Chains A and B, each alone.
Chain A
Amino acid sequence: AQKITQTQPGMFVQEKEAVTLDCTYDTSDPSYGLFWYKQPSSGEMIFLIYQGSYDQQNATEGRYSLNFQKARKSANLVISASQLGDSAMYFCAMRANAGGTSYGKLTFGQGTILTVHP
């Protein structure tokens, strides 16, 4: 079974500061992908960043980076230079190989609400 845990229900950050959103995961599959999505108040789920379990380097996409610590099973999202538009719900998710079958479902964490203060 796969599990994603986000322990921070809410986070606050000052504009232009960096913030780290925590995510830990649990899977017995050696091959998996980790994702972060952003959900503004409008409701759409926006893909931010992806990290493969075999990737040697941490993923980066503009102001987003993923701090991947495989041994600790953590995949924290770091947002640098926060902007007011970053205020949203953030979800960590994982898709694993489901024991070798084709149907690896995307499993989501509970989400973290990020509020950026001016």
Chain B
Amino acid sequence: ETGVTQTPRHLVMGMTNKKSLKCEQHLGHNAMYWYKQSAKKPLELMFVYNFKEQTENNSVPSRFSPECPNSSHLFLHLHTLQPEDSALYLCASSQVEWTLYGYTFGSGTRLTVV
């Protein structure tokens, strides 16, 4: 148990479906992140939320829609995805305030778009 819980662990969806990924942390962190990890590619930072406010969107297509209702929960809403969106989606959390500590990651959701 890492302290960051992601559900579901695996997801298969069609290109016309709408689904959501959920991330939850109870570590008292106030920053949360979504990463995409495609096969044989580096980790790509998608979104950053600090104190529930989105502070970074790294040119992510609008078919990915994040939501952060509170500091403990983060969602990634998916709609009309493409096969190239198949990847491992990792959620992480940390403290926003300057600290040398790193991030705590969830176990990821392995997404397959068919």
Contacts and interface: CB of A to CB of B under 8 A. Distances in A.
Interface of A: 31-33, 35, 37, 42-47, 50, 52, 91, 93, 95, 97, 101-106, 108-111
Interface string B85-114: 000101010101110111111111010000
5 contacts: A31-B100, A43-B88, A44-B107, A47-B105, A108-B42
B102 A43 contact: no
Contact of A105 (B2, B42, B45): B45
Contact of A33 (B50, B55, B100): B100
Contact of B48 (A37, A93, A95, A105): A105
A103 B106 contact: no
Contacts of B97: 102
B100 A95 contact: yes
Given A103-B55, A105-B45, A44 B101 contact: no
B43 interface: yes
B49 to A, nearest CB: 11
Interface residues of B, number: 25
A45 B89 CA distance: 11
Nearest to A108: B43
A31 B48 CA distance: 22
Contacts of A103: 48, 50, 55, 96
Given A44-B107, A47-B104, 7 more contacts: A43-B37, A43-B90, A45-B92, A46-B2, A52-B100, A91-B43, A102-B97
Nearest to B97: A102
B2 A44 contact: yes
A90 B48 CA distance: 23
Interface string B45-71: 100101000010000000000000000
Contacts of B102: 33, 35, 37, 47, 50, 93, 95, 106
Nearest to A100: B98
